[in-house]
Structure 1
Amino acid sequence: MARKLPSLNALYAFEAAARLQSVTQAASELHVTHGAVSRQIKALEGELGKPLFARQGRGLGLTPAGLQLRDATGAAFQQLEDAWSDLRRRRLPSALVLGCQGSILARWVIPRLPRLGLELPDLNLHLVVHEGDFDARMAGLDAALLVGEPPSDDGWLVHTLTTERIGPVVSPRYAGFDALLGRSASSLLGQALLQTSSRPQAWPAWARANGMDSQALTFGASFEHLYYLLEAAVAGLGVAIAPQPLVSEDIAAGRLAAPWGFVETPGCWMLCCRRNDADSRVTRLADWLRRELDATPV
């Protein structure tokens, strides 16, 4: 007998929106548009005949039906995720499954894989893109390379690698490049700054660290991921804000410049794993990553 279930895509969209309490954040996590998530939720509500969300000020709240469905879908998807994780581990029994943000993977990890292979030849890595905040839903990962503030949950073992440092970068191809050189950081207040929706706090944090009013910043184009932001900066489309390790090679090659240097943030680069599943390979990888970050030109 066929199961009487609504669209799994609709349930997936609802679960993300309910968990994050935001349709916008759910759309970002699922890599779809805001409208696509909204349509899936409306389809569920139409099929159910009652609302799942209730507007609360500027945010979203769950109705009693929404709360019940959130708990059910969250538990069901977690169970599926755990089962899928076990199956993947059996398929790759010798691999250390490492998750990290796509921008870090593309700009920092992949260029160093040949050296990692030479220095840790017995470490077989299986790399997985993991976007979003640190949470307990990282099923399927043995470890995660993350940038941000360490988790407060004691269930995680955190290997701190280095303090995060961010700063503005600009290409010599940028039309206003020559006019910016030699001027103070406050000269950026008149520029249309490039930003990324994945790190909206980066520019304000940098401004505050430099004694400037973050409300005075003017923003131009916005990009969904940091990788695209940095590619736009290299192309000369404007001034971007970036973690220092991700742009060090571009700076050394002259593709980008950092005239105002980099400032420390409260965050750090870290390699995390579940404390109960600690693997000696994670410690070895953390030591290697720490050496690589220490060797990154400042």
Structure 2
Amino acid sequence: MSGRELPPLNALRAFEAVARLHSVGRAATELHVTHGAVSRQLRLLDEALGRPLFSRQGRGLALTEAGEQLHAGAGLAFEQLRDSWAALRHHHEHSPFVLGCASSLLARWLIPRLDRLAHDLPGLRLHLSAQESSPVAELGTLDALLLLSAPPWPAGWQVDTLAPERIGPVVSPRYSGWPQLQGQPPARLLDEPVLHTTSRPQAWPDWLRGMDLPPSRPPGGAGFPHLYHLLEAAIAGLGVAIAPAPLVADDLATGRLLAPWGFQPTTGHWILAKPQRSGDRRADALAQWLRQELAGG
């Protein structure tokens, strides 16, 4: 070993724990390894140094002179590392958690639930970022991203699936064509100039396929750039729209919209995506909260 070379770091960590705790068994418990694994690391250090760091003293271990010298430096170094890590974790966990979310999901579903989120997760300082561009490009600048998507997920993503996506037609009772549609089977929509959004061109075909109807989009009808605009148009009585169930749950509860033909599952999911190497535990708590909210409608 050259004069500036470090000893094996796993072995040094085991040595520091045994020297501090005065026990191989307690060190093994702290490090979540076996008694034998710690003993092997100590032997590795002895062999690398060429002399023992511990000696037997009754049924226990005592530091040799070399062990005392190494412990003086290693103990200080590990304590400084623990302090630095704790400070970094404290700063990280008290900084804002930046959550990206498509504008329609943000406006129609998340914002109405922010009070409940703040109550249930009081330690989460949430900063919301409306996303309009490619989610693959945006994730690198965010702590997490809430969206509706289908697998396969992009490389570099760590994904929590929150709920399956379910979509269905919705219509306002104010719509002038509602009296003719009321009580009619789903096939009647094939003749209806329904509303659609250019951001989800497959929504109508996916629902029709789930209803065992021809999966071509119904003809005619106005198109809107975003789901939010589409649903506002439906609420205004401009026609029949198609939407994910959670985004219209509040409107269905108040009677502003009706869903007479039900909702069908798609291949998509509500997901919370974060960078692959993220170790932010706040994302886990947020994912659990989102999962419960979606399960409740």
Q: Structure 2-normalised TM-score?
A: 0.67
Displacement of 1:233 in angstroms is 0.1
Whole-angstrom CA distance in 2 between matches of 1:118 and 1:222 = 38
In structure 2, what residue type is equivalent to 1:207?
L
Instruction: Tell me which residue corresponds to 1:245.
Output: 246
Is 2:139–2:274's contact at 8 Å kept on the other side of the alignment? no
Q: Paired residues, what number?
A: 207
In structure 1, what residue type is equivalent to 2:257?
L
Is 1:134–1:151's contact at 8 Å kept on the other side of the alignment? no
- RMSD across aligned positions (CA): 1.9
Displacement of 1:148 in angstroms is 1.4
**Runs of 4+ with deviation above 4 angstroms:** none
Query: Rg bigger for which structure?
Result: 2
In structure 1, what residue type is equivalent to 2:226?
H
Structure 2 stretches lacking a partner, 5+ long: 1-90
List per-residue Cα deviations over 1:125-171 (Å, max 9, x = no partner).
00001124431443321100010113434421101100000000000
In structure 1, what residue type is equivalent to 2:233?
A
Is 1:144–1:272's contact at 8 Å kept on the other side of the alignment? yes
Instruction: Tell me which residue corresponds to 2:139.
Output: 138
Instruction: Tell me which residue corresponds to 2:124.
Output: 123
Is 1:161–1:289's contact at 8 Å kept on the other side of the alignment? yes
Instruction: Tell me which residue corresponds to 2:293.
Output: 292
User: Are positions 1:230 and 2:265 aligned together?
Assistant: no
Identical columns (%): 53
Whole-angstrom CA distance in 1 between matches of 2:185 and 2:228 = 27
Rate the CA distance shift 1:115–1:228 in 2: closer, same or farther, 3 A.
same
Displacement of 1:258 in angstroms is 0.3
List per-residue Cα deviations over 1:47-101 (Å, max 9, x = no partner).
xxxxxxxxxxxxxxxxxxxxxxxxxxxxxxxxxxxxxxxxxxx9x9710000010
List per-residue Cα deviations over 1:187-223 (Å, max 9, x = no partner).
1111101000110110111111111113362131000
Rate the CA distance shift 1:226–1:153 in 2: closer, same or farther, 3 A.
closer
In structure 1, what residue type is equivalent to 2:197?
T
Q: How does 1:169-188 map to 2 (within 5 A)?
A: 169-188=170-189
Instruction: Tell me which residue corresponds to 2:206.
Output: 205
Rate the CA distance shift 1:94–1:185 in 2: closer, same or farther, 3 A.
same
Q: Which secondary structure state, in structure 2, belongs to the residue aligned with residue 220 of structure 1?
A: coil
Instruction: Tell me which residue corresponds to 1:78.
Output: none
In structure 2, what residue type is equivalent to 1:261?
G
In structure 2, what residue type is equivalent to 1:107?
R
Is 1:150–1:270's contact at 8 Å kept on the other side of the alignment? no
Whole-angstrom CA distance in 1 between matches of 2:164 and 2:213 = 22
List per-residue Cα deviations over 1:254-294 (Å, max 9, x = no partner).
00000000000000000010121231000000000000001
Displacement of 1:229 in angstroms is 0.3
Whole-angstrom CA distance in 2 between matches of 1:158 and 1:207 = 28
Q: Which secondary structure state, in structure 1, belongs to the residue aligned with residue 132 of structure 2?
A: coil
Whole-angstrom CA distance in 2 between matches of 1:152 and 1:270 = 10
Is 1:97–1:141's contact at 8 Å kept on the other side of the alignment? yes
Whole-angstrom CA distance in 1 between matches of 2:224 and 2:138 = 25
In structure 2, what residue type is equivalent to 1:174?
Y
Q: Which secondary structure state, in structure 1, belongs to the residue aligned with residue 213 of structure 2?
A: coil
Rate the CA distance shift 1:216–1:224 in 2: closer, same or farther, 3 A.
closer
User: Are positions 1:109 and 2:130 aligned together?
Assistant: no
Whole-angstrom CA distance in 2 between matches of 1:121 and 1:113 = 11
Q: Structure 1-normalised TM-score?
A: 0.66
Whole-angstrom CA distance in 2 between matches of 1:192 and 1:241 = 12
In structure 1, what residue type is equivalent to 2:116?
R
Is 1:150–1:158's contact at 8 Å kept on the other side of the alignment? no
Structure 1 stretches lacking a partner, 5+ long: 1-89
Displacement of 1:178 in angstroms is 1.8
